[in-house]
Structure 1
Amino acid sequence: MTLTALSPAEVARSLAEPTLTVGVEEEFLLLEPHSWQNAPLAAAARDALPADLRERSRVEFRSSMLEMVSPVCTRLRELQGTLRQNRSAAGAAAESVGARLVAVGATPVGEPDLEVVDTPRFRAIARHYGPIAHDPALCGFHVHVGVPDRELAIQVCNAIRPWLPALQALTANSPFSAGADTGHASWRGIALERWPSLGPAPYLDSSAHYERVVGELVATGVMLDASMVLWWARPSSRYPTVEIRVADVGPTAAETVVVAGLARALVATAIADIAADREPLVPPEHLLRAAHWNAARAGLGGTLLDLRTHAPRPAWDLIGDLVATVGDALDRHGDRPDVEAGLARLREHGTGADRQRRAAAAHGLPGALAALAEATVSG
């Protein structure tokens, strides 16, 4: 990501019309298909991938986690095709080593092996953060939207903060932990609050402000190093993108793509607002954190906090406002039909958390996880 002599507004004006790129990183659990406990077989599963798909896989924090990444895409249907290819190949590789690939946001039953993967960085994280680094595995997905200028990316992250709780609610897909219903739609969202460098990004004035804040957090020990900037939205450290990290991994590729389309539209809308010198909404930090906690607890089954009014709203009313807010960007990228159709399916069938609970009530948790494993590679 570059730094330019242009102001963020000037860079934003240059990006007002072009299609923004989008890419996705998805984290999956490998589960043993009888006990449904986490299976520490990621290395073997990666080795079983075809060579071209192995290049899209990444080593993750836990040996029960397999991450797959998409190429850079411009069209949502192109993205969906690559995600389905990734999931199909990863699912076959998992089965070949005796596991099932499951798109679920939190360890649903248990993780017998709580050691981190043996890399220098992961060992350092485990030493620094202690027991929380040995919590059972959690899986999300990260949307990267192309923003080639770092100063602009920081302003975009400021602007999209009020809408990220809505994305978190849409993607709630982890109601179970230790074999029981937690009462939360996204246990991943709740469990990650134990990590001091996760959560909503602070409001940042500039790249220099970003570096100062990160330096202060490293100096206090809250962050081990600058790589521990794990906020829900951040300028990527590796790519010329804004990275949105708030979501539980999607039960199906189709649902992941809906959220990727909304994320891209949020970024494009923020760029348009910056280009027009419109000031972003800056919600109070305590309400921003409250909005995320409520989204993780309730999903779409109740109310969400509207950070424009500081009042609760029916969840689907706020989702409707989100679509209206980013509507021009959805139209510009040609994404409205796919996003609206996907949201209609979600409204009819519920979030991943809703569907897991219904399946568990009907068939027990093992039956729910078997159905989710099937949906992971076919949906």
Structure 2
Amino acid sequence: MNELSETGTPLEFRTVGVEEELLLVDAETGAPRSVASHVLRVAHQRGDTEADADDVGGSVGPELQEQQVETDTPPEEDLGLLEIEIGRWREKARAAAAETGTLVLASGTTPLPVRPRTFDDERYSEMTERFGLTASEQLTCGCHVHVSVTSDDEAIGALDRIRVWLPVLLAISANSPFWQGTDSGYESYRSQALTRWPTNGPTHVFGSGRAYTEHLRQLTDTGVPLDEGMAYFDARPSRRYPTLEIRVADVCLDPRDAVLVAALARALVSTGASEWRRGVEPDPASVAVLRLAMWQAGKHGTSGDLLDPVTHRPRAAHEVVDSLVAHVATALGPPGDLDRVEEGVRRLFSRGTGAARQRKILAEEGRLDRAVLRLAHLT
């Protein structure tokens, strides 16, 4: 379904879906609990797991560690429906967790100390054996956004042109200030923990779907990653769905922030795909520069300077976010989407990121365990 923008060009109404990784914490102490297997049994009894789903999307499923689960929404065109689905699947995860005496917590890392326990899965066990502490200590929760694409070449054409903007999505979503009971000094320490994986991070310009496939083959031929599923890039074409999967965001405390990230991600993909079709060359910024931009976003969130995606020089975060909105404004086509994004940005800068809210709640409660329980109820 297409309509015309004010300039007469067609607007693409791409579908967008969201995967959220959620922590499982004790309902009385706030400490992480290794109960995912039990939670998933309850969810299956309720018909809420992937095995029970009739359509693509809409389930509660496992993740790497027993102290977390993952939810995903069906693909939606309407952002209002997407927000409803995010809330619905958080509630389904919460209801299943309640049977085990736990709460779900939308935080990129657990504030309280934890010794992760790997979920009973052959692939996860192999990852832990091969990657040691990198895998066994990995307990992070992200928000992955799937945006529909029409072909592999379109996916890579868009990816090549959006990669410089992805650190801004991390800054907006930053929601992991604590690590093992300590303030990390970062707005998103999850983004730091992920760099321990050998395949994590930004990508270079590929130019075509074939070049991307060859890149994956070269990586897997080294024998370092187990398979192509370990291509933990900032964004990648999905192996399961006809989507471009954007993986940089922390899971958001407020579902409305998740919708903001999803709206901007979809608009970025539409803008990048349009530029690809028109032959607009992608920014040739190096992977090294993009790593610095991602570090800056993870360190400061929206509370300090970010690296400008055009000049790659420091610039006030609110100006960089405004430039992102301006960059994708014509792709925010459905009625109300631009208004929703602009309201979300105003809310973000008046209230702060999830990380800022976590620190504020800790200051009010005086103890991390009390703060965690309050954050879980906000989730």
- 8 Å CA contact 2:37–2:119 kept in 1: the answer is no
- 8 Å CA contact 1:283–1:307 kept in 2: the answer is no
Q: TM-score, normalised by structure 1?
A: 0.92
2:178 pairs with 1:176: yes
What residue identity is the alignment partner of 2:92?
A: A
**SS across alignment from 1:300:** coil
Measured after TM superposition, the shift of residue 367 of structure 1 is 2.6
- 8 Å CA contact 1:19–1:333 kept in 2: the answer is no
**Equivalenced residues, count:** 361
What residue identity is the alignment partner of 1:236?
A: S
Q: Name the residue aligned to 1:47.
A: 41
Measured after TM superposition, the shift of residue 93 of structure 1 is 1.7
Measured after TM superposition, the shift of residue 277 of structure 1 is 1.5
Distance 2:284 2:329 in 1: 21
Distance 2:41 2:69 in 1: 11
Q: Which has the higher helix share?
A: 1
**SS across alignment from 1:223:** coil
2:97 aligned to 86, 94, 99, which one? 94
Distance 1:175 1:34 in 2: 22
What residue identity is the alignment partner of 1:38?
A: P
2:24 pairs with 1:22: no
Q: Name the residue aligned to 1:236.
A: 238
- 8 Å CA contact 1:107–1:136 kept in 2: the answer is no
Q: Name the residue aligned to 1:107.
A: 110
1:68 aligned to 57, 62, 71, which one? 71
**SS across alignment from 1:27:** strand
| RMSD across aligned positions (CA) | 1.5
Distance 1:35 1:71 in 2: 33
Distance 1:188 1:204 in 2: 27
Q: CA offsets, 1:183-210, max 9 Å, x none?
A: 0000100111111111112321222221
Distance 1:41 1:120 in 2: 18
Measured after TM superposition, the shift of residue 108 of structure 1 is 1.6
Q: CA offsets, 1:284-343, max 9 Å, x none?
A: 222110000110011111000113112100001100000000000113464111111111
Q: CA offsets, 1:42-63, max 9 Å, x none?
A: 1211222363433311221111
Note the residue ranges of structure 2 that are not aligned, 5 or more in a row. 1-8, 51-58
Q: Name the residue aligned to 2:54.
A: none
What residue identity is the alignment partner of 1:133?
A: A
Distance 1:366 1:355 in 2: 15
Q: Name the residue aligned to 1:153.
A: 155
Note the residue ranges of structure 1 that are not aligned, 5 or more in a row. 1-14
1:293 aligned to 292, 295, 298, which one? 295
2:137 pairs with 1:140: no
Q: TM-score, normalised by structure 2?
A: 0.92
Measured after TM superposition, the shift of residue 165 of structure 1 is 0.4
